[in-house]
A and B are shown apart, each in its own frame.
Chain A
């Protein structure tokens, strides 16, 4: 299993780069691109080989998770709870995570300019505000683009439960697109044949035979590409790597540690994928848009987050993977300090919190702060662009490198955001 972790199947990588460069940029640019990629160094300072990005969709309340307040006006249904790191408290809704504070770095001075869910999630995933003229890639796509693909069978990026709003690889195209998983329990969609293996082989043989005249007549790159993809897909279906997608291989104790809900299963699947060398896994959990009765809302979501993430951190740690895996919790914005008429909190992009752990990040740290009401940034503002750049940096990517879209427009990881390098050891 180790071999999948670090090894980069050089041949398939080179072939892949060739192919993707061709389809992306036109053949004439090929040599220049090839060299540029070959020389690209790990310019980022992070030690992370993989990133598990846990996306709290709807706007996670900072005041009820990682930045609790004692001020009665704003504390809401939450009281601060001491963690295993002296001087740092987090929400009482996250008791298990509190015991692992020594693994985590919290950023309490996040800031974004958009208070709309769609736009906010888009910026949090790409570093860019949505434009009608281009779709920007997510970090997973950047990773594969800059570093090449890791494994001939497995995809580089997987997104779990993210639904329709995910920008995917944006302008980078299908080759860099994260593979979506709707239901972590059933794993990779359509990955099981409907027939026995021998029958499946027989069908393929017949198909190849019916197709042979056509393939001979049209021996074109795009036809060959598809033929290779068929081979790749069949080899994935047969490969042991496919088990990476199968959480039923986990023992019942491990499964119980994570929890029974979809997010918990998503986190478990994320760990399996990272273990098999997948670079980027995103797991989305909804239900954070707590305009009403936040007391009930946070009790439920808090428990879910607490159990799954604390299990994930422990699990990664015990398998020796935490060193090389960045785990991050992000969201589009925080929530208003004032409790509204419906006992809820509304959208609040002005200040909010995120969390990072693993991958060389210094645990037991808090970066930045909000004011005593959790209303505005008090110190060391981190914009959402800075946050995306920080994740890129954590993954060891060059966040200053300019990448051009096919139409020649320049982009960088996190839209020129500055990584918070201080939280890295």
Chain B
């Protein structure tokens, strides 16, 4: 790279004539380190280390700043704002500079200082955990340390944002936010969440604009497996009002669940119960289960059952037989699963509750759909097109770039993930914040989300590029409720998923290689076209369903760790992942959603996926028992683990100790660490390494991200 740029510069100096048009400030003779001069137009900085300049032939060239003479380097840096202002093509690096500048204003104002830049060791661990949700493995750390490119941090960010791990990590976040579960519906429901999961992963993989993705979730119609985005509404089937309250909270940062039952005590003009119902009315004519009226050929359950009974009788079977009855129940569940779909009907069924107590309306009134408005914001009321149904009208409004909250909320959420604290907190109620650190910054971030067309990957990359993010974590403790100047990220406890996936990294090296279940076979089997399905098809389906159960039982013999729920869930293993001691060794995103109660992930606070923000980072005694005495730690000290292999690959005790520290804490041992470790090894070499591994994973340093 360096060599190439030198050649370019030398070449340019030979062939550029001096007759560039009228000299604006940024078109000038630029001098390189060796004193050679070239007439070029400064286009922009690309990050802090590279600049882009245009030659007379209108070609753009990117080269390291350090090639320029010192004076010209300063001039180029001074020209930054000019370039950064250009809208559409602004690079992540330039945007990061603008963000840093906004924060700088705040630092000056609050008389605070940004933290020192994070060390390479701190940075590599942090960026792996924040971008791909796990610690780096030994090879990845060494590759980073050995890279001597001055721009290596941003280069690593670019690589990570394109990796499998990025998908897994963002999926976990959405899993919590959208409350993604294996099973959709009540007790015996046969509907699975796997299509929705795969759809979310695909959206992340294709980096679909976030607003499009949410629009689809709010407007999709059909069965869970035909139109996977329906998973979001089906998930709360029969709880339209709760679903709406959650929608408004997670996407629009406005907590109005109170208004479901009564006017908001503090904002009684803004969030009245009537207004809640007006908004719910947008979903009033959307059903999640097809009623008997939806079928031309009559109630399908009765019709198909009768046909099946006829077939059984014709074959000399007894419909009252125990096993036949059992089969008929399964048939009933299968039919119910096929009725379970999102559909828009004529009638708005949402009425004010029977105990509605305000004077503006009467209990049982059906209210016309109407958007809420936020005080002090530029509200937006899109007109309803003829072809639009109410739900689409709502989704258009909610996910529009013109909506005052939508872009702001996701910008703030992504910021919170990186810095450990939002610009405004809490992220799902920006309307009544406990702190609002920097309104100008949040406005800029929201604009940036809009500018990139809701490109979450580009947006996160920009955040990771900022100087603030790449600074040392704050050692001063943050006081909840106070404003924060973002001198650096806050110390974060790993999420349950980050911790589990880090254990998987220590165990497997590259856990991203292993895949969990897909639901395709299952869904093909249970799918029915209810108006047309004959008794014969139904019998075939039932047989296939039973056979599938057998196959899955065999495939699924690797039970989840410590789980009592070993019964063959619908998630078969297509590529059988590695397992040990009954535990599936997979990344959290590839496992049951959520993991069963009692699993490592749930113990460390994975959301139960019942409510938004269900995840927790609080400590507990069972957590500590598990990390000290549980299988997950024990298996690291077996010779099948990657961390053990890392150890074995080294010759000397010193090199082994270093490999252990790098693998687990992602830093080199200090002198005293090394001294202690070596003393230990000298005492009893055979088990010393097990002790060291145990000691390292049991540190707070391992559990937290600085």
Contact = CB atoms under 8 A, between A and B. Distances in A.
Contacts of A218: 473, 475, 491, 700, 704, 706
B242 A133 contact: yes
Contacts of A117: 187
B629 A194 contact: yes
Contacts of A236: 621
Nearest to A183: B564
B698 A207 contact: yes
A202 B699 CA distance: 14
Contact of B564 (A118, A182, A209, A408): A182
Nearest to A232: B621
B649 to A, nearest CB: 22
Contact of B700 (A189, A221, A223): A223
A192 interface: yes
A133 B258 CA distance: 10
Interface in B654-706: 665, 670, 672-673, 676-677, 680, 691-692, 694-696, 698-701, 703-704, 706
B439 to A, nearest CB: 21
A199 B629 CA distance: 13
A161 B481 CA distance: 40
A134 interface: yes
Contacts of B187: 116-118
A135 B625 contact: no
A182 B257 contact: no
19 contacts: A26-B480, A28-B481, A133-B245, A134-B611, A173-B616, A174-B616, A174-B619, A188-B625, A190-B628, A206-B677, A214-B701, A217-B475, A218-B491, A219-B477, A220-B477, A225-B619, A226-B624, A230-B698, A233-B624
Across the A-B interface, the 8 shortest Cβ-Cβ residue pairs: A174-B618, A132-B242, A164-B597, A207-B695, A211-B699, A214-B701, A233-B624, A190-B625
B242 A119 contact: no
A58 to B, nearest CB: 10
Contacts of A132: 179, 236, 239, 242-243, 245-246, 610-611
A133 B629 contact: no
A209 B242 contact: no
A130 B242 CA distance: 10
A203 B618 contact: no
A191 B695 contact: no
Contacts of A100: none
A118 to B, nearest CB: 5
A363 interface: no
A149 to B, nearest CB: 12
A214 to B, nearest CB: 4
B594 to A, nearest CB: 9
Interface in A66-102: none
Contacts of A227: 700
A253 interface: no
B428 to A, nearest CB: 9
Contact of B703 (A131, A163, A191, A226): A226
A378 interface: no
A292 B322 contact: yes
A191 B257 CA distance: 41
Interface string B612-645: 1010111111111110111000100000000000
Contacts of B150: none
Interface string B439-483: 000000000000000000000000000000000010101011100
B72 interface: no
A155 interface: yes
B201 interface: no
A342 B326 CA distance: 10
B288 interface: no
A254 to B, nearest CB: 26
A117 to B, nearest CB: 5
A43 interface: no
B651 to A, nearest CB: 23
Given A175-B618, A182-B564, A135 B608 contact: yes
A210 B493 contact: no
B605 interface: yes
Nearest to B249: A133
Nearest to B673: A210
A161 B565 CA distance: 11
B596 interface: yes
B692 A133 contact: no
Contacts of A166: 597
Interface in A301-322: none
A135 B610 contact: yes
A173 B564 contact: no
Contacts of B634: 194
B629 A211 contact: no
B98 to A, nearest CB: 30
A229 B622 CA distance: 10
